[in-house]
Chain A
Amino acid sequence: MVAPNQLRPADTPLLWALRDHLDMVGTKFGCGIGQCGACTVHIDGNASRSCQMKVSQLDGKEITTIEGLSEDGSHPVQQAWKEVDVPQCGYCQAGQIMTASAFLDKNPNPSGQEIKNAMHGNICRCSAYSRIQKAVAIAAENKLT
């Protein structure tokens, strides 16, 4: 265990490095313990909890945040989110979108149950769950065609 006074910037979680050091605030802080998914980013294409990743663990890895998912919000998952009008408060949605997009890259044609399972780790306190499920399904469809 590291005593707090031995912390180096390299021990900063990716979440806070993104938000405070790089001014990329699309990735959200929800719980800080890997339980809510608000901070989800892609690390080498895998959906990962940025609050649980230290900067020092990321050498040579490719990181994609919500800001980089597409140039202009045109990623099929972002567009599906718009089509379905998913957000209520909107705070969890960057994390939801990052989880969904990584999932669809691996499973482009998921069943309804697979979608629910994949999205189960991302809490939406506003409970926009059915729209999240619907948007993932639509994104999958649009991606296929």
Chain B
Amino acid sequence: MSTLIPSKFSRRSFLRTSSLASGGMLIGFNFFTACKDTAKMPIDISKLNYNDFNAFIKIADNGLVTIFSPNPEIGQGVKTSMPMIIAEELDVAWKNVHVAQGILDTVNYVRQVAGGSQSIRFGWDALRQTGATARQMLVNAAAAKWGVDASECSAKQGVITNAKGETLGYGDVVKEAAVLEVPENIPLKDPSTYTLIGTDVGNVDIDKIIVGEPLFGLDYKVDGMVYASVLRPPAFGQSLISYDDAEARATPGVIDVIKIGAKAKALMAKEKVNWSVRLHDSEKVVVIAENTWAAMQGKKAIKATWSDDSELESTDFQDKKLLSLLNGNKFKTLRKDGNVKKAFAQADKVLERTYESPFLPHNCMEPMNFFANVTDQKIHLVGPVQTPAAAAETVSELLGRNIADIRLEMTRMGGGFGRRLYGDFVYESAEISDVIRKPVKMVSTREDDMTTGVYRPAIKYRIAASIKNGEITGYHLKEAAVNSNMYGLIPNFFPAGTLENYQVDVANYKSEITTGAWRAPYTNFLAFAEQNFLDELAEELDIDPIQMRLDMLQKVKGTTDARIQYSAERMEDVINLVVEKSGYRTPKEGVFQGFCAYYCHNTHIAEVADVVMENNQPVVKKVTVAVDCGIVVNPLGALNQIEGGVVDGVGHSMYGDFGFKNGMPVSNNYDSYRLIRNKEAPAVETHFVENTLSPTGLGEPTLPPAGAAVSIALKKATGNRIYKQPFVSNMATKPILG
């Protein structure tokens, strides 16, 4: 399959230029909106203004290109792949491109969110158009210099050539190009002519990472900065009554002990709170110290008393609550086709299964931290956060300050996985600095991070299907979750659209435990439930599970239902590719293979996991992945994302367990919470479906199918079907990995 989707990006004036006082041309542009009429281009590189523009490109008079984007890097490689797209259309050699981290000065900064695997997808058209337009302006400038028509000139690798074979470098014409009118509707390159996109490009920060340069929020430091450690309620549902700080104050290095939270509480009580705001209602005790260690030690010495304000939940309470939701009738229907009830009533047989998953902490390798310096004039915030605009806005509300006073700088992030979408740590550090009026860095310990997190909610699914005359006639999925349910188009993912009678119902109960997005929200467990159910259904019908999917996909072809966004054809492609590459049809002696095909985050994926028995123990050896993510911008980065997603998916399905006792998490550090480690990581073999469709993200979509494929392989190897995560907690023989 090879269809070229034409660019829909032809808005007027999405791009502005200026001539830099120091020489060179500056281009400002927006990903998602046209530039405001009032948008002014700076002529000084130190005054880049992200109020009006998403990103800037500087072309210096020596031809070197610098791309400034405040788009944060959390490990998805967007800081490398997005500039690659600009450089491709601009047609400059990658070695002459430098990528700089921009600073956010604003509230109006659009879509500066590194989440949802969407950065690439949203940026694709705009980035290409910007590069192409800039290239055309340089060509136009050169043509004018030569007195020839621009159509006689071409640009390649930073050099413009005319019909006579004369050449000018980009740098030679930047001055002239900067003042030209911005041309419209510049044709984009045909993907078959790409020279940079599709090649392996290393991480742009690699030289800094390998020598340990300060890149992360935790590494940020200014003169006179103090450190803060925050004591939050130990259990969800508690709040602070009183505390004794005598011992903390006597701890060497401790400067002060303060209380915060009143402002946050007032903000939370407001009617409309931004979705990314997650704050505990309680006040908190903060130890301010000369260094991180002293702050942490001081915190341990605080003696606080807490009141129990609401149910202090334990895991068995949550299990009962979720099961009673599944057994009850308080559902919201998210999709309904035909009449499931009738299909079930007329069925020869109904297969019904329940699947269960625990809460999960994010466990970013870099614990939550943030720098704040609140003065009467300005608020300076620095650190790792995925939602800078929302964070700045909330700080302005929290402290009753003008948004224009706030300057927020993003650092590289030691992992995100959804955790850094929530700005609680930004608000805490701002509130602390507001009280002490000093530059301060709030640093969480691993224990703080794990026990006061924003977790993946515990979820249970009940799926039922009706069978009549050997055919599936109805499918009913119910979700019971803590705090919130699946959203957006998820209820319309496969198998929606393939069955006449189909229904998705959801319910939740509100808990004091803070929950939120966790890498591939909802689908990270839904895939496991649904794919196991389909596998069992195929077993029940005595048909090949892959053929069953392919047959189902026939029925959705040509659908006019706009909610169905997966493509039957693309799904077939990944299924056929994974079957071929994994040797699924020619099984090796002693290798048990589990198959899974999934669509989420706009990407189609099929995976096959290989399990072998060694000393009577199942061992996960390998996962073969077939991916259709459109054009692969940077294969080297893409493979890293895919492998990471698969291994993360396998690791959390296998080991991830996070229970509560009386409102308190049972695990608080890596000695009591198991993450997958080196030896346990299965080999990952990836195959791309080649096409020229717009690229889609890879940060999330490979994760959900991984646990599903592994559990189906484990079933084949051991005979036991798994209905619950983590797998290690409900298998007679403990599976091992690696």
A20 touches B293 (CB 8 A): yes
B678 touches A116 (CB 8 A): yes
Cα distance, A92 to B643, chains bound together (Å): 17
A125 touches B675 (CB 8 A): yes
A122 touches B212 (CB 8 A): no
- The verdict on A88 contacting B678 (CB below 8 Å), with A7-B297, A16-B291, A33-B446 known, is no
**Shortest distance between the CB of B214 and any CB in chain A (Å):** 5
Cα distance, A8 to B247, chains bound together (Å): 15
A69 contacts across to B, CB distance below 8 A: 211
- The verdict on A5 contacting B415 (CB below 8 Å), with A36-B670, A127-B643, A129-B647 known, is no
B678 touches A32 (CB 8 A): no
A20 contacts across to B, CB distance below 8 A: 227, 291-293
Contact of A91 among B293, B365, B640 (CB under 8 A): B365
Any A CB within 8 A of the CB of B300? yes
Closest chain A residue, CB of each to CB of B200: A85
Cα distance, A77 to B647, chains bound together (Å): 24
- The verdict on A126 contacting B75 (CB below 8 Å), with A73-B211, A117-B679 known, is yes
Question: Which segment, of B216-224, B402-410, B541-549, faces chain A?
Answer: B216-224
B301 touches A4 (CB 8 A): yes
Cα distance, A70 to B645, chains bound together (Å): 32
Any A CB within 8 A of the CB of B644? yes
Cα distance, A66 to B218, chains bound together (Å): 16
Any A CB within 8 A of the CB of B138? no
Q: Which of B202, B248, B363, B670: most chain A CB closer than 10 A?
A: B670
Any B CB within 8 A of the CB of A48? no
- The verdict on A89 contacting B413 (CB below 8 Å), with A19-B292, A67-B212, A133-B678 known, is yes
**Shortest distance between the CB of A58 and any CB in chain B (Å):** 15
B293 touches A126 (CB 8 A): no
B676 touches A127 (CB 8 A): yes
Closest chain B residue, CB of each to CB of A72: B211
Q: Which of B74, B417, B647, B651: most chain A CB closer than 10 A?
A: B647
**Shortest distance between the CB of A45 and any CB in chain B (Å):** 18
A94 touches B415 (CB 8 A): no
Q: Which of A3, A36, A129: most chain B CB closer than 10 A?
A: A129
A89 touches B75 (CB 8 A): yes
- The verdict on A4 contacting B298 (CB below 8 Å), with A16-B291, A93-B209, A97-B210 known, is yes
Contact-size category for A: 35 or more
B641 touches A125 (CB 8 A): no
Closest chain B residue, CB of each to CB of A31: B446
B202 contacts across to A, CB distance below 8 A: 82, 85
A116 touches B679 (CB 8 A): yes
Any A CB within 8 A of the CB of B351? no
Any B CB within 8 A of the CB of A140? no
How many chain B residues have a CB neighbour from A under 8 Å? 75
**Shortest distance between the CB of B69 and any CB in chain A (Å):** 18
Cα distance, A21 to B641, chains bound together (Å): 36
A65 touches B415 (CB 8 A): no
Cα distance, A97 to B209, chains bound together (Å): 10
Contact of A89 among B291, B301, B415, B681 (CB under 8 A): B415
Cα distance, A20 to B520, chains bound together (Å): 36
Contact with B along A12-46 (1 / 0, CB 8 A): 11001001110111111111110110100000000
A119 touches B678 (CB 8 A): yes
B211 contacts across to A, CB distance below 8 A: 26, 66-67, 69-70, 72-73, 78
B670 touches A33 (CB 8 A): yes
- The verdict on A120 contacting B206 (CB below 8 Å), with A7-B252, A88-B640 known, is no
Cα distance, A117 to B738, chains bound together (Å): 11
Cα distance, A97 to B211, chains bound together (Å): 9
A127 touches B647 (CB 8 A): yes
B678 contacts across to A, CB distance below 8 A: 116, 119-120, 122, 124, 129, 132-133
Contact with B along A85-110 (1 / 0, CB 8 A): 10111111110010000000000000
B209 touches A5 (CB 8 A): no
Any B CB within 8 A of the CB of A138? no
Within 8 A of A (CB), among B660-677: 669-671, 675-677
B291 contacts across to A, CB distance below 8 A: 12, 16, 20-21
Any A CB within 8 A of the CB of B728? no
B168 contacts across to A, CB distance below 8 A: none
- The verdict on A35 contacting B227 (CB below 8 Å), with A23-B221, A130-B643 known, is no
Closest chain B residue, CB of each to CB of A9: B252
Contact with A along B352-371 (1 / 0, CB 8 A): 00000000000111110000
**Shortest distance between the CB of B76 and any CB in chain A (Å):** 8
B679 touches A16 (CB 8 A): no
- The verdict on A87 contacting B647 (CB below 8 Å), with A31-B446, A124-B365 known, is no
**Shortest distance between the CB of A143 and any CB in chain B (Å):** 16
B738 contacts across to A, CB distance below 8 A: 116
B445 contacts across to A, CB distance below 8 A: 32
**Shortest distance between the CB of A103 and any CB in chain B (Å):** 12
A91 touches B213 (CB 8 A): no
- The verdict on A16 contacting B292 (CB below 8 Å), with A31-B670, A78-B210, A127-B648 known, is yes
Q: A21-B291, A89-B74, A122-B678 are in contact. List 12 more A-B contacts (CB 8 A).
A: A4-B297, A12-B291, A16-B291, A28-B414, A66-B211, A73-B207, A82-B210, A88-B77, A90-B205, A92-B414, A125-B363, A125-B417
6 pairs across A/B with beta carbons < 8 Å? A4-B248, A4-B251, A5-B252, A33-B669, A125-B675, A130-B684
Closest CB pairs A-B (n = 10) = A26-B212, A91-B414, A89-B75, A66-B212, A127-B647, A35-B670, A88-B75, A129-B681, A16-B293, A20-B291
Chain B positions near chain A (C-beta within 8 angstroms) = 73-77, 200, 202-203, 205-207, 209-216, 218-219, 221, 227, 247-248, 250-253, 291-294, 296-298, 300-301, 363-367, 412-417, 443, 445-446, 636-637, 640-641, 643-648, 651, 669-671, 675-679, 681, 683-684, 738
